[in-house]
Structure 1
Amino acid sequence: MTPNRRRRLTAAASLLAVVLVGAAACASHPATRSAAGQAAPLAQPTVSLSSDNPVAPPTTPPSTTNSEPSGSTSTSAPSSTAPTAEKPSAPVKPTAPRPNDTASSPGTTHNAPPPPAPLKAVDLPNAAAVDWQPTGGLVAMTLPAVGGIDLSECATVSGAAAWHEQGYASAQNTPAQEDIFGFTDTATATRAFQAIADGLNGCQQTSRDLQHSGGVTTDATVTTTATTAQGLAWARTWTAVPGASAAGPQTNHYYLVQHGATVIVAAFTEFGANPPHRYDTTGDPAVITMLAAHAVS
């Protein structure tokens, strides 16, 4: 074989190899496949829209070589990282003032007398029959910044500089409590005492109005069960309207005494139209005497 013929054969073989490699590359590209074997377009990068954890958009626009899915739009995004959105801090809720806080009752100096020790459970009315037990110790309650303290649907206390409460529960799971209010002076306590008494003296009509509004039979009756120089007592029997009282038939007993700048309100409830161990209200004058002595302690 001559040298010229050998060179021509070598060049032809090299050209054939280039053509075969190019054909294979074209066959593997998605744009050159047949419709039957066409590859799905590449998924586009997604961008999080969450302000809590933003993700930077892709720095390079997606390729336009492949066809886009129907209805999609290809756009390029800035290459800078999206700033993190700051969550606004929750507003600080004002805390209700405590009895000894100077902001709890505007215009008072909080020179309220210290509260007496809580009543012993055995001294509560009907204790021998229902076995009262304290539900914790005497608690300093939070005074409202404005307005009064609702004792029931009928009575409200205003102007107190300190408020303490003791709760009790009977073996039948009925409630009782003692509320001790301290005022800055005797005159303020006397006004509060009279306002409570006025509210409870008018409680029958107040309760019937509530029943009428609540669609409950207007059967409320309120009687004064004790009137002494030391204090007053009342009993309310009614079908209660849900709210300050539990719903249903019941009798609520209220006791009110004052000693100097201290006012004490005690109460307990008997549930049902015919409660077991029904309390005899003829003992209420003695309860007032006991509470008055307790207020001095």
Structure 2
Amino acid sequence: MSERARFLRTVVAASLAATPLAAVPAAASAAAVPLRVITWNICGEAGSPRGENGYCPYRDDPGAKVEQIAGLVSRHQATVVLLQEVCGLAPDSHLERLKAALGPGWSFARASGARPDGRTDCRGELSGELGVGIAVKSPITGTKVTQTLPPDPSGKNKQTLPTLCVRTGNWPRTHICTTHILADPKDLRRPKQVANVKAAASQGGLDVVLGGDFNLFPGSAELRPLSSAYEECDASGTTRNEVTHHAWTNGKHVYRKRDHIFASKVSGSRRFTSCDSDQSLMDRTPNIKDVSPNGYSDHAPLIGYLKV
């Protein structure tokens, strides 16, 4: 081989190696990669003990929760995991443990969210920072964090609830996002927060996949900016609007759907091919001292399969 031929081969090889994943055509990178999404509020931050408001099972046992997340990924061959109330950064946090559990090929992003007292640290026996997280079976090519909860006008409530979005190599034209909407139905900031979430997710005119704990029920007027713009995974089919949350309120069980996965609509057909709430992982026991839980969160994970 001539010196010129060797030089040209070296230049071509270096150019190919430097090509960013985001520049790879969608047909080449995404054709064989399904989009299977899990969203789950794992209530993974230490709080009240059994029998008190705010209790959630295994809050001080990140290993137990991560084992269940990894099991869900394996059973559904999931490629996207959206998590709320999750601890990150610290070596023994949920997200760092999940990195080890899922192994090579997965990428992670996170955003911190503050409690009403303004603190972001995970309390009790946990370490790290509280917030939302995304795991994708693809290289992440871009990350955007938007503080979508308007400030409390009184300044007393310092809570922050970010919307986290990523772009990836396998789905370069898709904005994959997660968020957590205010729980208090009397808080007048909720409609503006929902509007801000929609603006953050739709930024750039990309295809949208948005999941999270919305604290809003199907048919809610406050949810309409999202439910009218996007397709919701559990809004049609033989089983609709499955329960995703259990509360023990005034001595009674209360079951509702609070968690949703939305996606950009496709003309003439359903975007979602499957949607299921795995209620076997949701604690359904009375919040009474000395009663053992039968689940790992007060929320059930919601799993949606989408057409790419």
- TM exceeding 0.5: no
Task: Report which structure shows greater RCO (CA 8 Å, sep ≥6).
Answer: 2
User: Could you say which structure has the larger radius of gyration?
Assistant: 1
Higher strand share: 2
Question: How high is the TM-score relative to the length of structure 2?
Answer: 0.27
